[in-house]
């Protein structure tokens, strides 16, 4: 045996031992590649972490639905289990009763992840902050420093990507499944039929409100229950990203002169009556299955959001892929700055994983850590790992982050915002599921059958990808 065959590959460095970094470390070690995992806690804390454990859950103890037949996050659980996820393994081992959800004993879960990584001989855990760009000799790095990346590292990343491509707060407007919008009331049109750089002139879905509907809507916004900012979030009202309820509080006409202005649009269902106000929804993903409510970032509680927004004509039956929010959150404009293997285009030795890539949630962050780890290990071993198919939950989420999101269809602010996994990210089926007796399905039965079919397709396609990988 030659020296070269004897020597083990150089280590991959991971910055951040949260959900994504821990999962990435595990996957890389399992591929036979050494890892140095850099975690700044407990030496240096974040504003929300409380312990020195790796993979600490900072808020809820839930990994959400474990239903892999009709829920996209359940499908992601199934895929992560198939890919030997450490996070899912420890979650399964320390689950607590939570109905159809996978919830865990948070300390036992994080202790188990920490213990598994500490006992892995090819993983070295270094406690301490990486307070700037990694040294040049680290040639294969995963940055998984999360939504609360330390300021020194965030500044270094911002300098590399350009400040405009690294956000410190998300300003999330609700996203609606296209097929749940009533096009008998809404219509497609861009303001003044302008095509813009990437559009057609009919890129927005418009929902009209008359005066009474507008007044009732403003009342609901002002009176609706809101979430408070956390102590470390201050009040991040910035760049024209005011929550709609704050705009409504500033004056009853403010929204009508802002995101709800009724100009440059004609309602084809009622062309002789000018709407008093209009809500616009803009295509959010390349598939055209999701639409975001333009300018509707909000701190309303989720229940109040769904109730209030379903009062808008055309959105009475709206199914939300994501509800709105405004949080402290460090994340990249990934579709622009990352390649399809999660590497920074400007410096491909740096790969990103977890929430900093623009996914949202514990499970999603861990899953992107999982695939980033596998990709980094494959690269180190001189192999190429093809991204999982877009028809799988993991592939759909990865594709959303690295390219599925529509960047701009007009010259507005950047629109990429963090996203949970959901069936709206999956390519639509090329058939319509039928009842066992061959009859057409309708309503909730049809929606459920579609989800089952998307889940079955994801399972088959993941299996085929795994067999090739």
Ligand X SMILES: Cc1cc2nc3c(=O)[nH]c(=O)nc-3n(C[C@H](O)[C@H](O)[C@H](O)COP(=O)(O)OP(=O)(O)OC[C@H]3O[C@@H](n4cnc5c(N)ncnc54)[C@H](O)[C@@H]3O)c2cc1C
Closest C-alpha among 284, 237, 240, 280 to residue 256 = 280
Pairing assessment for the beta strands 35-39 and 290-293 based on DSSP bridges: unpaired
Q: Does 153 bind ligand X (CB under 6 A)?
A: yes
- Do 359 and 401 meet the contact criterion of CB atoms below 8 Å apart? yes
In the bound state, the residue with its beta carbon closest to ligand X is: 18
- Is residue 281 involved in binding ligand X (CB under 6 A)? no
Please identify, among the stretches 11-19, 218-226, 245-253, 314-322, the one whose residues bind ligand X according to the rule CB under 6 A. 11-19
Q: Is 136 in the site for ligand X (CB under 6 A)?
A: no
Binding residue for ligand X, selected from 11, 12, 13, 15, defined by CB under 6 A: 15
Regarding 65 and contact with ligand X (CB under 6 A), the answer is no
Footprint on residues 328-367 left by ligand X (CB under 6 A): 354-356, 361-362, 365
40 touches ligand X (CB under 6 A): yes
Judged by CB under 6 A, the stretch of 141-149, 165-173, 220-228, 423-431 that binds ligand X is 141-149
Taking contact as CB under 6 A, which single stretch among the options 146-154, 180-188, 311-319, 333-341 is the one that binds ligand X? 146-154
Q: Does 73 bind ligand X (CB under 6 A)?
A: no
User: Residue 55 Cβ, how far from ligand X at the closest point, in Å?
Assistant: 7
Q: Which of 140, 145, 161, 289 binds ligand X (CB under 6 A)?
A: 145
CA pair distance 124, 198, nearest whole angstrom: 47
How many CB atoms are closer than 10 A to CB 382?
7
Alpha-carbon span 139 to 126, nearest angstrom: 18
Figure out which of the listed residues 71, 150, 305, 334 binds ligand X, where binding follows CB under 6 A. Answer: 150
- Is the Cβ–Cβ distance between 108 and 57 less than 8 Å? no
Does position 393 interact with ligand X (CB under 6 A)? The reply is no
Query: Hey, is 96 helix, strand or coil?
Result: strand
Sheet containing 175-177: give its strands across: 187-188, 204-209, 277-283, 290-293, 175-177, 320-322
Residue 87 found at the interface with ligand X (CB under 6 A): no
In the complex, the smallest distance separating the C-beta of residue 150 from ligand X, rounded to whole angstroms, is: 4
DSSP string, 2-44: -HHHHSPPPPEEEE--SHHHHHHHHHHHHTT--EEEEE-TTTS
287, 429 Cβ separation under 8 angstroms: no
Under 8 Å between Cβ of 391 and 104: no
Is position 19 an interface residue for ligand X (rule: CB under 6 A)? yes
> Which residue in 29, 39, 166, 371 binds ligand X (CB under 6 A)?
39
Binding footprint of ligand X on the chain (CB under 6 A): 15-21, 38-41, 46, 48-49, 58-60, 129-130, 144-150, 153, 354-356, 361-362, 365
């Amino acid at each position: 045996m030659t020296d070269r065959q004897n020597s083990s590959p150089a280590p991959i460095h991971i910055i951040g031992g949260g959900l994504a970094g821990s999962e990435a470390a595990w996957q890389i070690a399992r591929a036979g590649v050494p890892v140095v995992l850099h975690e700044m806690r407990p030496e240096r804390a974040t504003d929300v972490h409380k312990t020195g454990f790796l993979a600490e859950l900072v808020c809820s103890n839930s990994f959400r639905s474990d239903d892999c037949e009709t829920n996209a996050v359940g499908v992601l659980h199934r895929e992560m289990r198939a890919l030997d996820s450490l996070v899912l393994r420890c979650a399964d081992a320390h689950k607590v009763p939570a109905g159809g959800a996978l919830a865990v004993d948070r300390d036992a879960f994080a202790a188990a992840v920490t213990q598994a990584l500490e006992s892995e001989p090819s993983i070295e855990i270094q406690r301490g902050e990486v307070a700037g760009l990694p040294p040049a000799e680290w040639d294969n790095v995963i940055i998984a420093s999360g939504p609360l990346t330390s300021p020194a590292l965030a500044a270094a990343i911002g300098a590399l990507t350009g400040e405009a491509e690294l956000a410190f707060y998300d300003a999330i407007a609700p996203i609606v499944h296209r097929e749940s919008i009533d096009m008998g009331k809404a219509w497609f049109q861009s303001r003044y039929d302008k095509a813009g750089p990437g559009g057609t002139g009919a890129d927005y879905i418009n929902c009209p409100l008359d005066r009474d509907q507008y007044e009732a809507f403003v009342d609901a916004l002002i009176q609706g229950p809101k979430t408070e900012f956390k102590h470390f979030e201050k009040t991040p009202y910035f760049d024209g990203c005011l929550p709609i309820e704050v705009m409504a509080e500033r004056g009853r006409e403010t929204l009508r002169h802002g995101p709800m202005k009724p100009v440059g649009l004609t309602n084809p269902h009622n062309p002789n009556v000018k709407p008093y106000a209009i809500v616009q929804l803009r295509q959010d993903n390349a598939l055209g299955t999701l639409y975001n409510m333009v300018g509707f970032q909000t701190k309303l509680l989720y229940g109040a959001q769904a109730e209030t927004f379903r009062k808008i004509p055309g959105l009475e039956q709206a199914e939300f892929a994501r509800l709105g929010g405004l949080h402290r959150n460090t994340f990249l404009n990934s579709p622009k700055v990352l390649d399809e293997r999660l590497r920074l285009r400007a410096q491909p030795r740096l790969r990103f994983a977890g929430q900093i890539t623009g996914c949202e949630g514990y499970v999603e962050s861990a899953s992107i850590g999982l695939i980033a780890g596998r990709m980094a290990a494959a690269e180190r071993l001189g192999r190429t790992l093809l991204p999982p198919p877009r028809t799988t939950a993991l592939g759909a989420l990865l594709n959303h982050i690295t390219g599925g999101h529509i960047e701009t269809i007009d010259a507005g602010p950047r629109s990429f915002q963090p996203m949970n996994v959901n069936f709206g990210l999956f390519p639509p089926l090329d058939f319509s599921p039928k009842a066992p007796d061959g009859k057409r399905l309708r309503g909730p039965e049809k929606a459920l059958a579609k989800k089952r079919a998307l889940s079955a397709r994801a399972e088959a396609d993941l299996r085929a990808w795994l067999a090739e990988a």
